[in-house]
Structure 1
Amino acid sequence: MRLNWMRGTQVGHMGVGNMGDLFAPILLAAFTGQPVRYTSSKSWHRRLITIGTIGQKQRFGQVDIWGAGFGSPEQSAFHVQTGFRHPPLTRFVPHALRGPFSAALLRRAGYVVPQVYGDPAWLLPRLWPGEAVQKRWDLGVIVHLSETDRMDPAAGASAEFQRYAVPQDLRGHVRVFSTLVEQDVGQVRARVEDILACRRVLTTSLHALAVAEAYGVPCAAFDFHAGTSGRVAVDDDGVPVDHRMRDFYAGSGARDVLVYRTERHLPTDWQVAMAFIDRHWAPLRYDPSPLLEAFPARLQTLSERPDAAVMARLATLAALRD
């Protein structure tokens, strides 16, 4: 199965990547039982894209879409996207999109797009049940890889961002970590379980939010713009909200995004942030059945749950490599 995903980079002898991007080959291998082959975003080979905002990166050939998102490299990521330019010599075959905002970009380009939405990260609890994970932290603060100052899975936020500073008396309660992981199935699962070990989550990472929502962990987007915290309508373009988060929540059936704001040069009152999440978060009710049914039939029948044999192979799967 040819698949394109954002693989990350090589640091010394260790390959590292973004947790959310690495979900793609793991989930596809687990739910189809088929080997996954990395294929470049610039390829004449027909390929699948499934997780991440990577539709706009594709060049050449036919590209099946199942759960991936689209954006515009020419617009701010904190507004509704309208500037997608269709790449030449490329044909998209949409089966399901992450959300309606990504679908709208393709429709403007002339495609007929089915109204099937959802991020495949919703399937993670079927792959890795989280009931046995013990809670260790009152709040997990997960930073996007752009907010770290080195490509190290152990790194937290860059020291220049004051909003991530944790006072001494809360260091056993608030944990700051990133979405960077080694390119290894076990390490990706361990980072998911890091999130599950938190009683609440505050994050600038879309896929940390997606993991939290999929497992029912109370959470909010951690925005760095000045303004009032609260619920923001997914289509309210007058308020800065990450386009990817708008798309994810709208595709999950939500009408708004829960946003907590602290500017990067200001300290965060973590007690106030936790109280905010407790007061405002409510679980999403997403049914993944239409997403499962929309999987491209030409590739493989998608199982509703991975079987034991597939799970055993995943323990040593080289799905994250060429």
Structure 2
Amino acid sequence: MYTSDKSLGLVYAASTKESPYSNFGDALSPIILHLLTKKEIKHLDFNSKCERMAGVGTILHNFSNSKVHVWGTGLDVTRNIKKPGKKYYDPQDLDVEYIVHAVRGKITEAVLSNFGVPVKGVYGDPAIILRKLLKSFVGNKKNGKIGVICHLSELEKYSPESTTKKDLKRYFSNSGNVEIINPLTNPTPLSVLNKVKEIAGYSYILSASLHGLIIAEIFNTPCSLLSGKVSAHGRYSIFDYNESLDHRFKDFYSGVGESTMLAYRAPYQEQISYNEVKAFLDASWNPIKGLDNISDNLVSALPIECPGYEDNVSFSGELNNIKV
């Protein structure tokens, strides 16, 4: 059992002086854990020499030193922070002890297991738990529009107000029913929660952001990966290595018991058609089954008591103290 006093030491990517805004997906981890545990969240570095937790994010490859409690986390198999000459992740290089309670998906599990790291067979991105934590806050209202969530690298500048780069025509539609969603927020927990609500309020979602897609899935919004690399719109096997499907998305879907995923082909120089996207998602998207059970299993696997596993109608002032 992971123990802490009044605070919980957690590692995640937060805003900095150099990057003063929050990527909403990275910021979900401390918010979820605060709501669940009612503890103060202490932001720690990846190389901290103390016992700590990892939650939401593709971050396991970034750790070094001491013990890390892994809860629904993913990794990048191509990254080795200690030996850049190595073109693959190797936990034996990191001088870190992973204590795995849950992982994001079966791809992450397979990598850790192959290196001898004990795993538990519990899967799921912790963002899935927002389905219960934010049920009343998000509500059921949809706006009839398609939200297109860009990647951070596609923004004109690093700002929540920024639009996408002008040469990326796929983000500029002639339809007023297609809108760009910027994944950046102001660095406050409520801004992050409002971004979740914004995404969940669309009737359809195309996303280059992993957590943008996860939010759409858990709040029953027809959605698909937005990709300029796949050969055509369609449903693909997550084990299809002939198509360029982002490994993070494949890991997520493997963790919720899916063997396939949708991908919408959107080359950068072609505008997105509202009617085409709507027809594709209406015909192809199906809700993920068993999300409530996955959420329950994740909470049961968390090595801390969770008095806050409930729908939140409002939020305490303590939430505002979280660094995001």
TM-score (structure 1 length as normaliser): 0.89
Among 109, 116, 122, which residue is 2:115 paired with? 109
Instruction: State the shift of 1:304 in Å.
Output: 6.2
**3-state SS of paired residue (1:67):** strand
Aligned to 1:293: 300
Instruction: State the shift of 1:308 in Å.
Output: 6.6
Cα deviation digits, residues 204-232 of structure 1 (max 9, x gap): 00000110111111101001115111111
**3-state SS of paired residue (2:224):** strand
Instruction: State the shift of 1:84 in Å.
Output: 1.8
**3-state SS of paired residue (2:226):** strand
Cα deviation digits, residues 120-159 of structure 1 (max 9, x gap): 1111132222563633341000112121121111223221
Contact in 1 for aligned 2:217/2:223 (Cα 8 Å): yes
Cα deviation digits, residues 149-186 of structure 1 (max 9, x gap): 2111122322121111111xx12x11102211111111
Aligned to 1:318: 321
Q: Structure 2 CA distance, aligned partners of 1:205 and 1:28?
A: 21
Determine if the alignment matches structure 1 residue 248 to structure 2 residue 231: no
Determine if the alignment matches structure 1 residue 206 to structure 2 residue 214: no
**3-state SS of paired residue (2:61):** helix
Determine if the alignment matches structure 1 residue 142 to structure 2 residue 149: yes
What stretches of structure 1 move > 6 A for 4+ residues in a row? 307-310
Amino acid at match of 1:148: L
TM-score (structure 2 length as normaliser): 0.89
Instruction: State the shift of 1:307 in Å.
Output: 7.7
Amino acid at match of 1:59: S
Gap runs ≥5 in structure 2? 1-7, 81-86
Amino acid at match of 1:160: D
Q: Structure 2 CA distance, aligned partners of 1:305 and 1:60?
A: 31
Determine if the alignment matches structure 1 residue 71 to structure 2 residue 82: no
Instruction: State the shift of 1:202 in Å.
Output: 0.5
Alignment of 1:95-244 (within 5 A): 95-129=101-135, 130=137, 132=139, 134-167=141-174, 170-171=175-176, 173-244=177-248
Aligned Cα root-mean-square deviation (Å): 2.1
Q: Structure 2 CA distance, aligned partners of 1:16 and 1:10?
A: 9
Aligned to 2:57: 52
**3-state SS of paired residue (2:21):** strand
Q: Structure 2 CA distance, aligned partners of 1:91 and 1:272?
A: 48
**3-state SS of paired residue (2:252):** helix
Q: Structure 2 CA distance, aligned partners of 1:186 and 1:48?
A: 23
Cα deviation digits, residues 217-252 of structure 1 (max 9, x gap): 110100111511111111112211010000001101
Instruction: State the shift of 1:306 in Å.
Output: 4.2
Gap runs ≥5 in structure 1? 76-81
Contact in 2 for aligned 1:99/1:250 (Cα 8 Å): yes
Determine if the alignment matches structure 1 residue 270 to structure 2 residue 274: yes
Identity, % of aligned positions? 27
Q: Structure 2 CA distance, aligned partners of 1:62 and 1:178?
A: 35
Amino acid at match of 1:263: P
